């Protein structure tokens, strides 16, 4: 209550941020894996009616559904609880559209193609509904559920399992956490594309270092993990280059050390050239750019 009052009187505090403050809860419904959440429950101190049609478009919500469902809430104070799948089982696919390399590929995310994803969403919605009925929300904030049925689902009893399945199919959207199109894995896995050093198998000199190498999507927003992958890969590459440079220095140093000063002058220039060219063959420059 203090926060809402503060927002109304001074336009400050957690409820006063333009696009809402975010709170996240990670929840596992599986007792045998309590530390691997099924749902990321996002709580936002504003609702799509405040954020406007652009926010709805940004998350891929159909404009007709947006206007129908949120009609009447414009200008009202709202807040949002959104369950997100933290370990989705549906798997998308990327296809070549044609043999022409400049044609855009076909990306089919196949959202909700695995029935367990709908089941997890239903549990997430149940969790959000339960939280919304607790006294901090009902008594302190005075919130109530927006009980307007979605037009596309109004043939089903509001709040029933069938209603929510229909709602999910119409209103679920992306969180833009695309990953795993180029996964890292052992050579024995025919679907893995890159090895443990993120080198593309069968292609010389190419690494992939981004969210696409994740074998499974992490149970959180992806940015931090993607940066971690990039940092780790950069460290590995630098370490390898430093080792190569050290061993190259060592070989060259020993060879120079074994020569007398006179030998290094012009009469032995031809020999020096031979030695250097052998050295270069042994340590080809392409090794340094991998």
Scanning residues 149 to 208, which ones bind ligand FAD (CB under 6 A)? Answer: 176-177
- DSSP secondary structure string for all residues of 48-98: HHHH-HHHHHHTT--HHHHHHHHTT-TTS---EEEEEESS-----EEE-SS
Among 48, 153, 194, 222, binds ligand FAD (CB under 6 A): 222
Rounded to whole angstroms, how far apart are CA atoms 37 and 217? 12
Site stretch for ligand FAD (CB under 6 A), options 66-74, 97-105, 181-189, 221-229: 221-229
Q: Give the integer Cα–Cα distance in Å for 42 and 39.
A: 9
With respect to ligand FAD, which residue has the nearer C-beta, 68 or 221?
A: 221
Whole-number Cα distances in Å, 252 to 31, 262, 267, 275, 276 = 60, 17, 20, 10, 9
Tell me which of 152, 195, 210, 275 binds ligand FAD, using CB under 6 A: 210
153 vs 194 by CB, closer to ligand FAD: 194
Residue 114 annotated among the catalytic residues of the structure: no
Residues between 224 and 283 that touch ligand FAD (CB under 6 A): 224, 226
Rounded least distance, CB 58 to ligand FAD, Å? 6
Question: Sign of the CA dihedral 169, 175, 180, 182?
Answer: positive
Element (H, E) at 25: strand 22-27
Nearest distance, CB of residue 7 and ligand FAD, angstroms: 23
DSSP SS3 for 12: coil
Q: Judged by CB under 6 A, how many residues of this single chain contact ligand FAD?
A: 9
Q: Is 221 in the site for ligand FAD (CB under 6 A)?
A: yes
Q: Which of 248, 273, 56 is nearest to 170 (CA)?
A: 56
42 is a contact residue toward ligand FAD (CB under 6 A): no
Is residue 79 near ligand FAD by the rule CB under 6 A? no
Residues in contact with ligand FAD by CB under 6 A are 176-177, 210-211, 221-224, 226
Provide the annotated active-site residues.
177
């Amino acid at each position: 209550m203090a926060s809402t009052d503060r927002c109304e009187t001074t336009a400050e505090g957690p409820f006063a941020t333009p696009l809402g403050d975010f709170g996240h809860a990670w929840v596992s419904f599986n007792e045998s894996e309590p530390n691997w959440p099924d749902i990321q429950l996002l709580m936002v101190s504003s609702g799509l009616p405040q954020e406007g049609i652009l926010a709805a478009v940004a998350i891929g919500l159909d404009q007709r559904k947006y206007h129908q469902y949120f009609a009447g809430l414009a200008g009202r104070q709202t807040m949002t609880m959104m369950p997100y799948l933290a370990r989705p089982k549906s798997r998308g696919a990327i296809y070549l559209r044609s043999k022409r390399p400049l044609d855009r590929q076909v990306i089919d995310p196949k959202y909700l193609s695995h029935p367990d994803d709908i089941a997890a969403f239903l549990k997430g919605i149940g969790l959000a509904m339960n939280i919304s009925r607790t006294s901090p929300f009902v008594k302190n904030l005075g919130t109530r559920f927006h009980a307007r049925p979605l037009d596309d689902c109004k043939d089903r009893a509001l709040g029933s399992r069938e209603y929510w399945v229909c709602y999910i199919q119409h209103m679920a959207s992306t969180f833009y956490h695309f990953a795993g199109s180029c996964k890292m894995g052992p050579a024995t896995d025919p679907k893995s594309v890159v090895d443990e050093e993120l080198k593309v198998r069968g292609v010389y000199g190419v690494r992939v270092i981004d969210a696409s190498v994740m074998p499974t999507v992490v149970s959180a927003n992806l940015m931090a993990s993607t940066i971690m992958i990039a940092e780790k890969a950069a460290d590995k590459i630098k370490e390898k280059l430093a080792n190569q440079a050290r061993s190259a220095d060592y070989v060259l140093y020993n060879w120079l050390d074994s020569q007398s000063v006179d030998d290094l002058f012009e009469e032995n220039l031809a020999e020096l050239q031979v030695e250097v060219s052998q050295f270069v063959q042994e340590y080809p420059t392409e090794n340094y750019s991998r």
